[in-house]
């Protein structure tokens, strides 16, 4: 007998038919004698619809009231699932975030979990009930409802699994696992049997949106075995855990991020402290800088380019222009028609020639590289956005099809 936490995303609980499927999955595990805690997201587009409703009445609602509104989506799905399971004749109870003891800080809309006071959940499990918990929400020290940020139900599930010391935390979604590339771009992309936490984090931040980042960080910290599975098929999913197959996986995936922009600041003074001025200005405005490139200084001048999230582009351009005198440069340009393509693999650090192979693939496809950055387990290149699909295909071909 094991303790299993299962989380079902919005598409998995979207309607009556889907909820019946979920009830079947949950009860099939329960019948085998497992202790079951089930975390649910709001049905389908409910959260988006609620946001739209709010905007109709007040374009700048307080974050507190927004959380009161948004947390209701999950209340609907948890009670509907509980009723469905009840109807099948199984003992079940649904709990809201606060009933389940999800204690958070007070950052409405993006709250962090302080701890899970799991006494109630444990009592219910002791009475052999299936426990359904609404994801994405908690309660702060003032007794107010908070939400964990979009996609936060994954994190609710992992927090509960970590607290209970669950044997497994399954994340049911509409894809049946993590692939070596986006199957919409690379139709022969392969499903990974397993992947390490670090690889998953890199792939997630690179645009492979399967799991909420914070849930993976938390799973790593508390060593929770995760499994990404589909509620639509019965195929085996992808396990996310501390690697054992690591050595085989020199490269585990190719990711693409079209939502970045490249900023170039031309002809800055080539003196100490200039980079500090530029990047402390950006940091002060909460801009996440990724790849940084500095040109060799000539005639006492140098240029610095870097990438930022695309939706910061206008703000950053204005910011740098406002500070032209303080920074002392000649020109600034921002290009949003760029994309970052990356390969991720835990075995990369100990295997030479991986970068060369990636660049060979790009050369073969006649794709120009504008910037490069590397870490222990990742190599990223910045290229023109229009080349990005071809790049993903060529790189994937090189590493996975021979």
Binding residues for ligand ASP, per CB under 6 A? Answer: 9-10, 41-42, 47, 73, 135-136, 150-153
Asked if 132 and 92 count as a contact pair (C-beta separation under 8 A), the reply is yes
The two three-digit tokens of residue 367, written as one number: 């794709």
Instruction: Give whichever of 42 and 260 is closer to ligand ASP, judged by the CB atom.
Output: 42
Q: How far is CA 66 from the centre of its chain?
A: 22
Q: How far is the CB of 15 from ligand ASP (least distance, A)?
A: 16
Instruction: Give whichever of 158 and 206 is closer to ligand ASP, judged by the CB atom.
Output: 158
**Closest among 347, 348, 346, 387 to 365, alpha carbons compared:** 387
Binding region for Mg ion (CB under 5 A) out of 149-157, 215-223, 232-240, 301-309: 149-157
Q: How far is CA 295 from the centre of its chain?
A: 33
Asked if 342 and 354 count as a contact pair (C-beta separation under 8 A), the reply is no
Q: Provide the 8-state DSSP code for 346.
A: T
Instruction: Give whichever of 157 and 354 is closer to Mg ion, judged by the CB atom.
Output: 157
Q: Which residue is nearest to Mg ion (CB)?
A: 151
Q: Give the number of C-alpha atoms closer than 13 A to the C-alpha of residue 74, restricted to the C-beta side.
A: 33
Instruction: Give whichever of 120 and 150 is closer to Mg ion, judged by the CB atom.
Output: 150
Q: How far is the CB of 154 from ligand ASP (least distance, A)?
A: 6
Beta-strand ranges (E) seen in 193-250 are 194-195, 226-230, 238-240
Q: How far is the CB of 135 from Mg ion (least distance, A)?
A: 10
Binding mask 108-147 for Mg ion (x = CB under 5 A): ----------------------------------------
> Of these partners, ligand ASP, Mg ion, none, which one is at the site of residue 73 (CB under 5 to 8 Å by kind)?
ligand ASP
The two three-digit tokens of residue 382, written as one number: 């910045």
State how far the Cα of 149 lies from the Cα of 136, in Å rounded to an integer. Answer: 7
The two three-digit tokens of residue 359, written as one number: 């660049």
> Of these partners, ligand ASP, Mg ion, none, which one is at the site of residue 47 (CB under 5 to 8 Å by kind)?
ligand ASP
Q: How far is the CB of 32 from Mg ion (least distance, A)?
A: 27
Instruction: Give whichever of 47 and 84 is closer to ligand ASP, judged by the CB atom.
Output: 47
Total binding residues toward Mg ion, as defined by CB under 5 A: 1
Which residues are CB-contacts of 357 (< 8 A; sequence separation ≥ 6)? Answer: 398, 399
Q: How far is the CB of 203 from ligand ASP (least distance, A)?
A: 18
Instruction: Give whichever of 125 and 160 is closer to ligand ASP, judged by the CB atom.
Output: 160
Q: How far is the CB of 41 from ligand ASP (least distance, A)?
A: 3
Instruction: Give whichever of 151 and 347 is closer to Mg ion, judged by the CB atom.
Output: 151
Q: Give rounded-to-5 percent helix, strand, coil for the chain.
A: 40, 25, 35
Q: How far is the CB of 396 from ligand ASP (least distance, A)?
A: 29
Binding region for Mg ion (CB under 5 A) out of 31-39, 150-158, 230-238, 337-345: 150-158
Q: How far is the CB of 133 from ligand ASP (least distance, A)?
A: 12
State how far the Cα of 36 lies from the Cα of 7, in Å rounded to an integer. Answer: 11
**Closest among 275, 333, 326 to 302, alpha carbons compared:** 275
State how far the Cα of 262 lies from the Cα of 306, in Å rounded to an integer. Answer: 6
> What string of DSSP letters covers 124-163?
HHHTT-EEEEE-SEEE-TTS-EEE--TTTHHHHHHHHHHH
Say how many C-beta atoms besides its own lie within 10 A of residue 363's C-beta.
12
State how far the Cα of 111 lies from the Cα of 70, in Å rounded to an integer. Answer: 13
Q: How far is the CB of 145 from ligand ASP (least distance, A)?
A: 14
Residues of span 309-348 touching Mg ion by CB under 5 A: none
Instruction: Give whichever of 10 and 177 is closer to ligand ASP, judged by the CB atom.
Output: 10
> Of these partners, Mg ion, ligand ASP, none, which one is at the site of residue 42 (CB under 5 to 8 Å by kind)?
ligand ASP
Considering only 138, 151, 237, 345, the residue that binds Mg ion (CB under 5 A) is 151
> Of these partners, Mg ion, ligand ASP, none, which one is at the site of residue 348 (CB under 5 to 8 Å by kind)?
none
Instruction: Give whichever of 7 and 256 is closer to Mg ion, judged by the CB atom.
Output: 7
Rule CB under 5 A: which residues touch Mg ion? 151
């Amino acid at each position: 007998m094991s303790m299993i936490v299962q989380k079902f995303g919005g598409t998995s609980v979207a309607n009556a038919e889907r909820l019946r499927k979920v009830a079947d999955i949950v009860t099939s595990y329960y019948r085998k004698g497992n202790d079951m805690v089930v975390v649910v997201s709001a049905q389908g587009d409910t959260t988006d619809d609620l946001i739209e409703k709010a905007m109709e009445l007040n374009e700048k609602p307080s974050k507190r009231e927004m959380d009161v509104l948004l947390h209701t989506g999950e209340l609907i799905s948890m009670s509907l699932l509980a009723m469905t399971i009840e109807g099948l004749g199984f003992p079940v109870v649904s709990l809201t975030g606060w009933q389940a003891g999800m204690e958070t800080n007070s950052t409405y809309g993006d709250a962090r979990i302080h701890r899970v006071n799991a006494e109630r959940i444990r009592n219910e499990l002791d009475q052999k009930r299936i426990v359904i918990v609404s994801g994405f929400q908690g309660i702060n020290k003032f007794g107010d409802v908070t939400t964990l940020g979009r996609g936060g139900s994954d994190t609710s599930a992992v927090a509960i699994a970590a607290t209970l010391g669950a044997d497994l935390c399954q994340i049911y979604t509409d894809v049946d696992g993590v692939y070596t590339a986006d199957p919409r771009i690379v139709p022969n992309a392969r499903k990974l049997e397993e992947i390490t936490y670090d690889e998953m984090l890199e792939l997630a931040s690179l645009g492979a949106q399967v799991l909420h980042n914070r849930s993976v960080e938390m799973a790593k910290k508390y060593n929770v075995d995760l499994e990404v599975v589909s509620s639509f098929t019965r195929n085996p999913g992808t396990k996310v855990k501390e690697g054992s197959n690591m050595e085989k996986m020199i490269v585990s995936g190719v990711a693409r991020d079209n939502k970045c922009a490249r900023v170039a600041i031309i002809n800055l003074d080539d003196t100490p402290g200039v980079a500090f001025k530029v990047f402390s200005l950006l940091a002060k405005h909460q801009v996440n800088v990724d790849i940084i490139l500095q040109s060799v200084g000539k005639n006492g001048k140098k240029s610095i380019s870097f990438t930022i999230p695309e939706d910061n582009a206008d703000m950053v351009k204005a910011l740098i222009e406002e500070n032209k005198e303080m920074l002392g440069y000649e020109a600034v340009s921002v290009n949003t028609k760029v994309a970052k393509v990356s390969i991720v693999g835990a075995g990369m650090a100990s295997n030479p020639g991986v970068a060369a192979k990636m660049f060979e693939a790009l050369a073969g496809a006649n794709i120009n590289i504008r910037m490069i950055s590397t870490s222990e387990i990742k190599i990223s290149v910045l290229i023109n956005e229009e080349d990005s699909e071809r790049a993903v295909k060529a790189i994937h071909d090189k590493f996975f099809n021979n």
